[in-house]
Chains A and B, each alone.
Chain A
Amino acid sequence: MKTPLSYWLSLPVAAAVLAPLAVLAWLGLQAELAFDAGNAAIVINSVLLTMLTVLGAILLGVPLALATTYIRLPGRPLWLALLAAPLAIPSYLGAFAYFAAFGPGGTLENLTGVNTPNLRGLAGATLVMTLYTYPFVLLTTRSALRHLNPAMLDAARTLGLSPGRALLSVVLPRARNGIAAGALLVALYTLSDFGTPAILRLDTFTRMIFVEYNAFGLDRAALLSLQLLALVAVILWLETRFGAERERPTRTATLDLGAGWRAATMTAGLLLMLAALALPLLVFGDYFWREGVGDFDPILAWHSAYAAGLAAIVAVVVALPVAYAAGLGRRGRLLERIAHLGFGVPGIVLATALVYVGLQLSVLYQTLALLVIGYVLRFLPLAVGSLRTRLERIEHHQIAAARSLGAAPFEAFRRITLPLALPGIVAGAALVFLEAMRELPATLLLQPTGFETLATYLWRVYEAGYLGRGAVPALLLVLISVGALVALLTGEERAGEARGA
């Protein structure tokens, strides 16, 4: 059988995704292999932060998923959107806000006169990471609950189990895989996150890779990167073991849990919104009120948008053959899996490898092209994902009909596949654009000289200790994040309608 063109086009993409890993392995091999106490502390800190964040996210996410599935809350869609919103805000904005709000001289003390303790280290990082990752668990658990067959729950209730007991013994065990899927996403996100441990000063892998990178330790940074990738691989492996087993529900189960639960859910939801959304807005708003626009240069917003826009275009162009190949057979799916790896490679790790690549290939060094390549490698899976969901729905006989009517393969692609895939292309490009605009660690390492972005400016403001100057970029980043959320939700809604759900 002739190898389809899309395979040939996908191969270099897969190779490009694997190249940084090879570079790191090579660099790491040159480092003096000394697993000392400092290294052990980094492992312990990273694992502790990840485990505590996963625990926190489950404790928040699962009850909220139960409540939003089974309790008739007034304005339920709005509640859901609000409770999912922290996911759209990059956690480094939260970390910045908590860093500025708490402690002596912080925003809270300035506004209320109440002394608050510093929120730093493991406790602070766990709090912030939990606040911005619990929606993963909320969403995956909710989706699992909605796919449960209500017959068993009804049977349990008829046989005399109280609603609480029925939840614990009938519902939760069957939602286990959904909870686990969310927990693993939280773990992956926490291990990869740079901004939060860096700002709240917890020596995790990501923070220390940056420290080493900046202190003549490129080889040690590579070594730490490899260790971090090993942890990520464990998470990804666990993920493959929790496949979703789907029941085929005829309707969604309901459970009358009484007014007490409703009040408790709404109170908890409100508190969460205060902590995750209102507090950062308060901090940035307060700085903005006191310092105004300052000497903020709007070109930063343009830089962010320009680089992210290029990344979005390149990502969908590259994603098309990969997504197409994935629908053709086993080898295609393998190529897609490889392209998916980028999402597991933390931004700081990817950037460390690309800086080294740039030093060897000096045409790329400190160029916008290398930054865009970094974004594309990292966020390609988003584009491939949205494209695949569209492409999967294209009936193959439509293409076959076009071919039998005399269209060449490319013409069939251009006139059938491409128009049908267009919504997926737009959605994928939008996702990549918004993620790239907010990306911090890879941008810090790969930004071309003179090409400051909103995220790198905010980081610089933190480093210099002049937090007030961060108000405008932080507020802009929040706005962009809200845009991302709206785009995601409306996109999902439309996809839902199309599926006839």
Chain B
Amino acid sequence: MDRRTLLKAALALGLGGTAARLLAADDPAVSVDALAALSGKLTVYLGHGEGGLYTDIVGAIRERNPALDLSLRRAPSSALATTLVAEAGAGGPRADLFWSVDAASLAVVNGAGMGRRVPDDIRGQIRPEFRYDRWAALSGRIRSLPYNTGRLSPADLPGQIMDLPDSDLRVGWAPSYAAFQTFIAAMRLLEGEARTRRWLEAMKSKAQSYAGELGVVLATARGEVDVGLANHYYTLRLKSGDPDASVALAFTRDDAGCLVNAAGTALLSGRALPADFTRYLLTREVQSFLAEQAYEIPLVAGVAPPAGLPSMDTIQPPELDLARLSELKPALALLRDTGVL
């Protein structure tokens, strides 16, 4: 069954939720059946990059709620954050909801004071470590080092991201992708401006640029580069389609290289509809879809993480408040100055 039919069936019948609730009575995940139908006009700015998976979710929600008049504006998350900041300076944001695949873009929008307070019942559904006041985290993604299994073993990889320039590995990266820029913003916060600049300058000579991180992972599997810098799910998606692909996941320890980032929504208008739409995104059905099809980490307790992801206790992400990532601008300036972007 392809992902679209699966999701449609799941959303239409609410089966996944009901069956699971029978098994686990204290399951906090809400089924889509428990939610009221959405109606009215809703403008959503959707930061894309997921090649249609998010479109499938939107399509299923649209189909289930015929009275919902939904317009979507799609562009990279950071571009939409830029647009929203410009709009805020000229009469206020034109969207009701900003659905970003990247926490930094949400932090930027909130830095301009745009995000409304997230209702408590929504916050209560999200894992405690991902509860924020002014945006609702929906799914997690981890920065990772996908490496070519034909050329390298995990022992050949540096344990620290800052040591990567000292290796003789060929690296693939996608500097124009929002998640990469956020990773640099995190590095700047954790290691400081000067070290980040030196890292970028040293990496520039050994890194090959790709348009997106799917391209990075494909290039790694082909052996065009030895190791890539990418969100974890691209590797898992590639492996699910082609289990023999010569690529596997590795993680650095306690630094920007294994930052846990989150996709989420910011409520930009005080109406109930954007919050209700977010409630749909936190249902068991959508969360399971994100885990099973997009290989993202569900952030509602009780929904199983994606197959193939190492257990979360083996990963040591750095301590960094995602809200601080609103300092994206100086990171972009660094990327520009070093000629990486």
B222's partner among A104, A213, A463 (CB-CB below 8 A) is A104
Cβ of A362: which chain B residues have Cβ within 8 Å of it?
90-91
Q: Is A149 part of the binding interface, using a Cβ–Cβ cutoff of 8 Å? A: no
Q: Is B133 part of the binding interface, using a Cβ–Cβ cutoff of 8 Å? A: no
Number of interface residues of B (CB under 8 A): 46
Q: Which residue of B lies closest to A103 (CB)?
A: B224
Partner-contacting stretch, out of A158-166, A270-278, A464-472: A464-472
Whether B76 and A214, one on each chain, are in contact in the complex, defined by CB atoms closer than 8 angstroms, is yes
Q: Is B212 part of the binding interface, using a Cβ–Cβ cutoff of 8 Å? A: yes
Cβ of B85: which chain A residues have Cβ within 8 Å of it?
216
Whether A449 and B86, one on each chain, are in contact in the complex, defined by CB atoms closer than 8 angstroms, is no
Minimal beta-carbon separation of B7 from chain A (angstroms) = 13
Q: Is A3 part of the binding interface, using a Cβ–Cβ cutoff of 8 Å? A: no
Whether B79 and A295, one on each chain, are in contact in the complex, defined by CB atoms closer than 8 angstroms, is no
Query: How long is the Cα–Cα vector from A38 to B333 in the complex, in angstroms?
Result: 11
Cβ of B211: which chain A residues have Cβ within 8 Å of it?
201, 462-463, 465
Minimal beta-carbon separation of B192 from chain A (angstroms) = 22
**Would you give the 0/1 interface string for A438-462, flagging 1 where the beta carbon is closer than 8 Å to chain B?**
0000000000011010000000101
Q: Which residue of A lies closest to B221 (CB)?
A: A105
Q: Is B341 part of the binding interface, using a Cβ–Cβ cutoff of 8 Å? A: yes
Minimal beta-carbon separation of B201 from chain A (angstroms) = 13
Q: Which residue of A lies closest to B338 (CB)?
A: A38
B209's partner among A201, A452, A469 (CB-CB below 8 A) is A201
The SS class assigned to the B binding surface is mixed
Query: How long is the Cα–Cα vector from A234 to B124 in the complex, in angstroms?
Result: 62
**Would you give the 0/1 interface string for B68-84, flagging 1 where the beta carbon is closer than 8 Å to chain A?**
00111111101100100
The 9 closest A-B pairs by CB, nearest first: A450-B71, A214-B79, A465-B212, A359-B90, A449-B73, A466-B51, A465-B214, A464-B51, A449-B71
Query: How long is the Cα–Cα vector from A452 to B55 in the complex, in angstroms?
Result: 13
Residues of B within 8 A of A (CB): 4, 43, 45, 48-52, 55, 70-76, 78-79, 82, 85-87, 89-91, 94-95, 176, 209-215, 218-219, 222, 224, 328-329, 332, 336-337, 339, 341
Whether B94 and A449, one on each chain, are in contact in the complex, defined by CB atoms closer than 8 angstroms, is yes
Residues of A within 8 A of B (CB): 36-38, 41, 104-105, 201, 211, 213-216, 218, 295, 355, 359-360, 362, 365-366, 449-450, 452, 460, 462-466, 469
Q: Take A38-B336, A104-B219 as given contacts and tell me if A463 and B91 are in contact as well, using a CB distance cutoff of 8 Å.
A: no
Whether B176 and A216, one on each chain, are in contact in the complex, defined by CB atoms closer than 8 angstroms, is no
Whether A295 and B90, one on each chain, are in contact in the complex, defined by CB atoms closer than 8 angstroms, is no
Query: How long is the Cα–Cα vector from A371 to B54 in the complex, in angstroms?
Result: 26
Query: How long is the Cα–Cα vector from A121 to B341 in the complex, in angstroms?
Result: 14
Query: How long is the Cα–Cα vector from A450 to B336 in the complex, in angstroms?
Result: 31
Q: Which residue of A lies closest to B177 (CB)?
A: A463
Q: Which residue of A lies closest to B71 (CB)?
A: A450
Query: How long is the Cα–Cα vector from A37 to B338 in the complex, in angstroms?
Result: 10
Whether A211 and B176, one on each chain, are in contact in the complex, defined by CB atoms closer than 8 angstroms, is yes
23 contacts between A and B (CB under 8 A): A38-B339, A104-B224, A105-B218, A213-B79, A214-B76, A214-B79, A215-B79, A216-B85, A218-B86, A359-B87, A360-B90, A362-B91, A449-B71, A449-B73, A449-B95, A450-B73, A460-B74, A463-B76, A463-B211, A464-B52, A464-B214, A465-B214, A469-B52
Minimal beta-carbon separation of A213 from chain B (angstroms) = 7
Minimal beta-carbon separation of B89 from chain A (angstroms) = 8
Given contacts A214-B76, A464-B50, 6 further A-B contacts (CB under 8 A): A215-B79, A215-B341, A359-B90, A365-B90, A462-B211, A463-B48
